[in-house]
Structure 1
Amino acid sequence: MSTSSSSAAAPEREPAPERARRLPKVPFWAQILLGLVLGVLLGWVARNWDIAWLGTTLTKVGETFVQLLKLAVAPLVFFAITISITNLRNVHNAARLATRTLLWFMATSLIAVAIGLVIGLLTNPGSGTGISAKDAAKPEEAGSWLDFLTGIIPTDIITPFTELKVLQIVFMAVVVGIAALKLGEKAAPLLSLGESVLALLQKALWWIIRLAPIGTIGLIGTAIKDYGWNLISSYATFTADIYVGCAIVLFGVYPLLLATVAKVNPLQFFKGAWPAIQLAFVSRSSVGTMPLTQKVTERLGVPKEYASFAVPFGSTTKMDGCASIYPAIAAIFVGEFFHVDMGIKEYLLIVFVSVIGSAATAGLTGATVMLTLTLSTLGLPLAGVGLLLAIDPILDMMRTATNVAGQVVIPVLVSAREKILDVDAFRNARSFSLDELDSDSGPRESAVREPAAATS
């Protein structure tokens, strides 16, 4: 009897090694927060104690993390957009969804640039900075409308990938995707290969994303080590303007749209989207964050086929932080610094450039191309870019977080308006661990094909 009892109970006991492996997992947001704190501390130590090896280590760690993200950008953008376009064949009312998505991209960009202009005009960020004109310098590369328009079309198929010209990669991906749709079954082997390559790239990028807390230490530490707090104080008004403007859009405009247009709970949105927003803050790369952005968008109830279209396009064109708020305030800063008067015409030009030219930022770290495009359109000195480059990494964190939040908001909003949002999934949204997101296969594939059956 005792043998029988013990054998019956044996399966219920967990092996000792298995119990030992079950250590409490630190949430991703906590890992990022710890990285931020350590980065600030180590950067401060390296700067104040002039510890060269520590400063070099922080720089190398940050550069390596960004380089790893950039390594996957070119093929990821190409295959993600190509496959997303071909997936539209499975989407009910695909043209309607695509059109509404692009219109909402433009509408929210218009709101963001208006907020940037109002903040800049109220605060006069270019006055009394204590910065001298000798700090100004023309950028090595400047954007122009001619370069923007002609630069979309590549001269060959190799250079865009080797030189990371994302806009040209997007152009080629769109052409290949539309051609594959027209070919139908003949393109099936190519699409199957593309889907496999995309899955491999996303898996590799997940491994890089897991390194984000370490990358955070290097990136934040380098910023503190190089610039300290004195630089921030010199640009205090400008820095505050960017952060306040982005915060108004991120925590004001987006929640208002979600509550009034999509009629969903904004708090639930932030619970689900927060992993992507915090990674964007650290990495300063919308494209590098794209796999995580798409995962959280699907977990918020957006059908997978539609999310696979909206998120990749948003990651390369939807830039409320970098392409709307930032160039508006930066143009006012440069105009005031060089004592150039601007009027209604110039402000309308800023709006036009921000709404139409946002794809020039291409989802990479920094927004220099967009800024030079804006300044050249307004006839402002391009040397003003040199004034802002030093502070740019600190500003870029908040800008990119705003970008990525907008890239999730619009698919949720459009899905809700089109009655294809899985409302139950949205209501149960929470901040997930990377393991959960990595293993999620996205079960809501049929919702976009049969909108009548979706929860409304």
Structure 2
Amino acid sequence: MSTDVSTRTNRRTLYFGLSVLAGLVLGALLGFVAKQTDTAWLTTTLKTIGNIFTSLLQFTVIPLVFTAIVVGVTSLRGLGGGRTAARLGGKTLLWFGITSLIAVLIGIAVGLISGAGKGVSVKPSEAAVARLADRAQGDWLTVINGLVPDNLFSAFSNGEVLQVVFVAVLVGIATYALGERAAPFVAFNQAAFDIIQKVLGWIIRLAPLGVLGLIGTAFATYGNQFFKPLLSLIAAVYIAALLVLFVVYPVLLRFVGKVSPRTFFAKAWTALQFAFVSRSSGATLPLSRQTAVNLGVEPGYAGFAVPLGTTTKMDGCAALYPAIATIFIANLFGVGLGFWQYVGIVAVAVFGSFATAGTTGWFTMLTLTLSTIGLPAEVVATGVAIVYGVDPILDMIRTATNVAGQITVPVLVARGEGLLDDEVLNAPSGPPLLDDQPAREEPAPKDKDLVTA
């Protein structure tokens, strides 16, 4: 039964991805026709469709960011008790942060070198242009002063997303500190987040139409000049992801984990292929966990670290991609990024994924990143909607990168903690099994304090 459900889910995902790509192609064709024939009504129709989709996305940004951070910060309490669990959890999160830092720096470097998004200048509204100008003239003191709202409600009503992020982090830490006394508030935010996720899911179903309108408007305005920026985004993301996959992880495995990269990829290849095709770290979780076990990781620790990594370890979606996409969107809107804005991109990549555990991956992380560097909500929503047109293509390599990192980190930590079985690591094995017969017998954890998922 579960196999049938999984098959239907993968089929729906495939059909949806194809429909988004179809919307992209049809929108480009209609926009090109509107540009060449100077058909005003077609241009207006495409613009209206795109504006409606952007507005729908925009009104979810503020509540999504606030509830995601509050729920994410409080969920960190779920690491469990016990000194062994705390030590393993701490080292796991530390390596998550280190590899995210490397990935986001690679993303920034590739984004800057490739000049992703240059060649076309998208014009936001006059109000957004004025706010962008104000932010561009400020220094780091202006950024810090702008973090704190004059009053709580103005940050939300005025769409000051960066202030909402600050308030959410502050509230999340306070909620975490209060523990059980704040349980009703946590439950309320969890329910609100689930509601927003449901509404967002409905909006996302309109993505083929929204992409058609947005890409069509872009081509109707700029003609075929828009091909080059989109292709530059795709190329930059794939180059950065391949560098992380086949350079960063192998170096760490060889010199920190004392594991042959060839052995790692031989045992992890099935999981990586499935991640690339399914575009889902969650769907790949059983394969990822069993792959870590086949690589010699203690099963109890693998059962803790890999599921944790599925929600908080996203080098593809939460580190390198938001960095490149942010540079791409900034270039599209003609916004020059300063030093402190790049610092903000790095900070969100390293710490943001911890605060958005279990959320909508790249969408939330890109929204957080764009908001953190000070872009208005309108620009954030429009930029996210534009990159959504090629998201199915990007999501394949992003997900494969995510899954590779989710397997690599447990191997590194297990080696340092003496929880890596070299006999199992070096033993030949077929693809990870998903039935009731695991690839190797999984004994109970050696330490009674070890937390299992």
Superposition TM-score, scaled by structure 1 size? 0.60
Partner of 1:445: 443
The offset of 1:265, in angstroms, is: 0.7
- Judge conservation of contact 2:117–2:328 (CA < 8 Å) in 1: yes
| Structure 1 counterpart SS, 2:281 | coil
**Partner Cα distance (1:354, 1:162) in 2:** 24
**Partner Cα distance (1:371, 1:162) in 2:** 21
Partner of 1:406: 405
CA separation of 1:379 and 1:40: change in aligned 2, threshold 3 A: closer
Give the alignment partner of residue 318 of structure 2, picking from 292, 316, 323: 323
The 5-angstrom pairing of residues 146-165 of structure 1 reads 146-147=167-168, 150=171, 155=185, 157=187, 160=190, 164=194
The 5-angstrom pairing of residues 118-129 of structure 1 reads 118-128=109-119
5+ long unaligned stretches in structure 2: 1-9, 27-71, 129-158, 176-183, 198-204, 217-223, 449-453
- Judge conservation of contact 1:301–1:444 (CA < 8 Å) in 2: no
Alignment-mate amino acid for residue 439 of structure 1? Q
The 5-angstrom pairing of residues 76-87 of structure 1 reads 85=79
The 5-angstrom pairing of residues 378-417 of structure 1 reads 378-382=373-377, 383-387=379-383, 388-417=387-416
Partner of 1:200: none
The offset of 1:110, in angstroms, is: 0.7
The 5-angstrom pairing of residues 272-421 of structure 1 reads 272-363=267-358, 366-382=361-377, 383-387=379-383, 388-421=387-420
The offset of 1:275, in angstroms, is: 2.7
The offset of 1:150, in angstroms, is: 3.9
The offset of 1:371, in angstroms, is: 1.4
CA separation of 1:164 and 1:280: change in aligned 2, threshold 3 A: farther
- Judge conservation of contact 1:125–1:237 (CA < 8 Å) in 2: yes
- Judge conservation of contact 2:316–2:398 (CA < 8 Å) in 1: yes
CA separation of 1:380 and 1:435: change in aligned 2, threshold 3 A: closer
The offset of 1:114, in angstroms, is: 0.8
The 5-angstrom pairing of residues 215-226 of structure 1 reads none
**Partner Cα distance (1:84, 1:340) in 2:** 40
**Partner Cα distance (1:443, 1:232) in 2:** 52
Alignment-mate amino acid for residue 411 of structure 2? V
Partner of 1:117: 108
- Judge conservation of contact 2:118–2:332 (CA < 8 Å) in 1: yes
The percent of aligned pairs where both chains have the same amino acid is: 43
Deviations 1:225-281 (A, max 9, x none): 9799x9875511111111111111111100110001111111111122223222322
CA separation of 1:373 and 1:248: change in aligned 2, threshold 3 A: same
CA separation of 1:408 and 1:149: change in aligned 2, threshold 3 A: farther
The offset of 1:164, in angstroms, is: 3.8
- Judge conservation of contact 2:371–2:380 (CA < 8 Å) in 1: no
The 5-angstrom pairing of residues 60-209 of structure 1 reads 85=79, 93-128=84-119, 130=120, 132-133=122-123, 144-147=165-168, 150=171, 155=185, 157=187, 160=190, 164=194
- Judge conservation of contact 1:284–1:397 (CA < 8 Å) in 2: yes
**Partner Cα distance (1:320, 1:422) in 2:** 26
**Partner Cα distance (2:85, 2:331) in 1:** 46
Coordinate RMSD, CA, aligned: 4.5
**Partner Cα distance (2:321, 2:98) in 1:** 17
- Judge conservation of contact 1:101–1:411 (CA < 8 Å) in 2: yes
**Partner Cα distance (1:266, 1:165) in 2:** 43
- Judge conservation of contact 2:433–2:439 (CA < 8 Å) in 1: no
| Structure 1 counterpart SS, 2:336 | coil
Partner of 1:239: 234
**Partner Cα distance (2:302, 2:97) in 1:** 18
The offset of 1:100, in angstroms, is: 1.2
Partner of 2:427: 428
- Judge conservation of contact 2:318–2:349 (CA < 8 Å) in 1: yes
Partner of 1:263: 258
Partner of 1:19: none
- Judge conservation of contact 2:344–2:373 (CA < 8 Å) in 1: yes
CA separation of 1:127 and 1:416: change in aligned 2, threshold 3 A: same
Aligned length: 331
Partner of 1:12: none
**Partner Cα distance (1:244, 1:351) in 2:** 19
The offset of 1:443, in angstroms, is: 2.5
The offset of 1:324, in angstroms, is: 0.9
CA separation of 1:283 and 1:360: change in aligned 2, threshold 3 A: farther
Q: Which moved more, 1:337-346 or 1:98-107?
A: 337-346
The offset of 1:417, in angstroms, is: 1.8
Partner of 2:50: none
The offset of 1:333, in angstroms, is: 1.5
| Structure 1 counterpart SS, 2:104 | helix
Deviations 1:154-183 (A, max 9, x none): 73648736954899xxxxxxxxxxxxxxxx
CA separation of 1:447 and 1:151: change in aligned 2, threshold 3 A: closer
**Partner Cα distance (2:103, 2:331) in 1:** 21
Partner of 2:49: none
- Judge conservation of contact 2:122–2:334 (CA < 8 Å) in 1: no
Deviations 1:165-214 (A, max 9, x none): 899xxxxxxxxxxxxxxxxxxxxxxxxxxxxxxxxxxxxxxxxxxxxxxx
The offset of 1:384, in angstroms, is: 4.4
CA separation of 1:265 and 1:83: change in aligned 2, threshold 3 A: farther
The offset of 1:119, in angstroms, is: 0.8
- Judge conservation of contact 2:104–2:320 (CA < 8 Å) in 1: yes
Superposition TM-score, scaled by structure 2 size? 0.60
